[in-house]
Amino acid sequence: MQSILELRHLKTLAAIRDTGSLTRAAERLHLTQSALSHQLRQLEEHYAMPLFARKSAPLKLTPAGERLVALADGVLPQIAGTERDIAKLREGEAGSLRIAVECHTCFDWLMPAMDTFRGRWPEVELDIVSGFHADPVGLLFDDRADLAIVSDIDAEARIHFAPLFAYDMVALLANDHPLAGKAWLSAEDFRDETLITYPVPDEMLDLVRQVLKPAGVNPKRRTTELTVAMLQLVASRRGIAALPRWSVQHYLDRGYVVAKPVTENGLTARLYAAMPQERAGAAYLRDFVDIVREVSAAELPGIQLAL
């Protein structure tokens, strides 16, 4: 039997296994769902048997699918490792990766990503620029950081912005809050409330920048550095907040507070890895971005790799 298997097929099968969904697998691979379905149908026609049980949710592998995914699990890491080794031969193994962060909740996924990166690039000096930074991109220009995690793109800057992932921002309310019965919150719903945020400029708050400011809504404010303190204040009816769903899912599962979409269509936020254009092609920086995306896709509920 002549094989039609290509690397793209193995990546597709692994993504479906990891996500349990054709939609999410397509997002992870930057494919349309129809293109991904075409690949899967092509394989199933070639082998004359199904690779996934279509009626299960999440999708489950058939024995034939399990065998092909086992092949993917063996081959794909070897290819990635070989390409990484060749990059080290070409560019050298050493370097520095000083990371600046503007996102208070980023450490939930940044620490596991750094652990993985350290194992792949042990000669690279890995560090976090200490403290929270309102202008992390400025640290790149001052050569005080090599990469910054940011939530917005400055098109005029001499900076390369690599997309990491998109995610839902949700409004958080006490379980007995009068607004808790609404299907979603509008900008007007925030007008007479106290908005609890991190102590950062308004342009770094997606809720304010994308929803409240355009609507001319400027509620009273209260700030705290800690996510858990913010949730305690919300639960105590001291105000309402807006945070990434993935950062508070554990509290939502416990019924500590309730989450509501912001606007009828929801509020989507994005994160990017910013780095100087002249260094953006460095193999270890590109690999770090890939690691962040891999770790986030595996660990964070509800994120979207397709931006």
Tell how far CA 178 is from the center of its chain.
32
Q: Say if residue 160 is in the same domain as residue 215.
A: no
Q: Are residues 84 and 109 in the same domain?
A: no
Average pLDDT over every residue of 257-268: 96
Confirm whether 215 is domain-assigned.
Answer: yes
What whole-number distance in Å separates Cα of residue 191 and Cα of residue 197?
A: 15
Judgement on whether residues 124 and 256 belong to the same structural domain of the protein: no
- Tell me which of 49, 73, 89 is where a domain ends: 89
In 3D space, the residue among 15, 68, 70 whose CA is nearest the CA of residue 46 turns out to be 68
Burial of 95 from C-beta contacts in 10 A (0-12 / 13-18 / 19+): middle
Instruction: Please check the confidence at residue 306 and state whether its pLDDT lies above 60.
Output: no
Q: How confident is the model at residue 105 (pLDDT cuts 50, 70, 90)?
A: confident
Contact yes or no for 33/26 (Cβ under 8 A)? yes
Q: Quick check: helix, strand or coil at residue 40?
A: helix
Evaluate the CA torsion angle 10, 40, 302, 164 in order and state its sign.
positive
Q: Does some domain include residue 276?
A: yes
Please list the residues that pair with 166 across neighbouring strands: 270, 304
Instruction: Find the domain containing 256 and state its range.
Output: 166-268
Q: Within a domain: residue 305?
A: no
Question: Are residues 283 and 155 part of one domain?
Answer: yes
The count of residues in the chain is 307
Boundary-marking domain end, from 89, 110, 142 = 89
Residues 214-250, buried b or exposed e (16+ Cβ, 10 A)?
Answer: eeebebeeeebeebeebbebbbeeebbbbbbbbbbee
> Is 57 in the same domain as 179?
no
Quick one: tokens of 195?
């908005």
Residue with the bigger pLDDT between 292 and 298: it is 292
- The share of the chain scoring above pLDDT 90, in percent, equals 51
pLDDT attached to residue 148: 92
Would you say residue 25 lies in a domain? yes
16-24 long-range CB contacts below 8 Å, 24 or more apart? 16/40, 16/52, 16/59, 17/61, 17/65, 17/69, 18/297, 18/298, 19/58, 19/297, 20/57, 20/58, 20/59, 21/58, 21/59, 22/59
Residue 155 pLDDT class (50, 70, 90 cuts): confident
**Are residue 260 and residue 178 in the same domain, yes or no?**
yes
Q: According to the model, what pLDDT value does residue 216 have? A: 96
Question: Does residue 1 lie within any of the structural domains?
Answer: no
Burial of 24 (0-12, 13-18, 19+ CB in 10 A): buried
Q: Examine the domain organization and report whether 103 and 193 are in the same domain.
A: no
- Residue where the block lists tokens 């990766």: 97
242 & 274 share domain = no
Which helix (H) or strand (E) is 44 found in, with range? Answer: helix 33-47
Closest CA to 99 of 91, 109, 90, 89: 109
Q: Does any domain span residue 214?
A: yes
Query: Do residues 129 and 98 touch, judged by C-beta distance below 8 A?
Result: yes
Residues 179-208: tens digit of each pLDDT: 999 999 999 999 999 999 999 888 889 999
| Domain total in the chain | 3
What's 249's domain CATH number? 3.40.190.10
Q: Running DSSP on this structure, what letter comes out for residue 224?
A: -
Tell me the pLDDT tens digit for each residue of 214-246. 999 999 999 998 899 999 999 999 999 999 999
307 in a structural domain: no
Q: State the pLDDT at residue 204.
A: 85
CATH label of the domain that carries residue 74? 1.10.10.10
